[in-house]
Amino acid sequence: MLLLQKIAFMTFDIVLIGYIAGFCTAVAQFPQALKVIKTGNTESISLGMYLTMTLGIFFWFLYGVLIPNIPMILANGVCLLPSVYILYITIRNILKTKNIPL
Q: What is the pLDDT along the chain (102 residues), one digit of tens a residue?
A: 555 556 555 566 777 888 888 888 888 888 989 999 999 899 988 999 999 999 999 999 999 999 998 888 988 999 999 999 999 999 999 999 888 776
- What confidence score (pLDDT) does residue 92 get? 93
SS3 content of the chain, % helix, strand, coil (to 5): 85, 0, 15
- What confidence score (pLDDT) does residue 87 get? 94
- What confidence score (pLDDT) does residue 90 get? 94
Domains present along the chain, CATH in parentheses: 2-97 (1.20.1280.290)
- What confidence score (pLDDT) does residue 93 get? 93
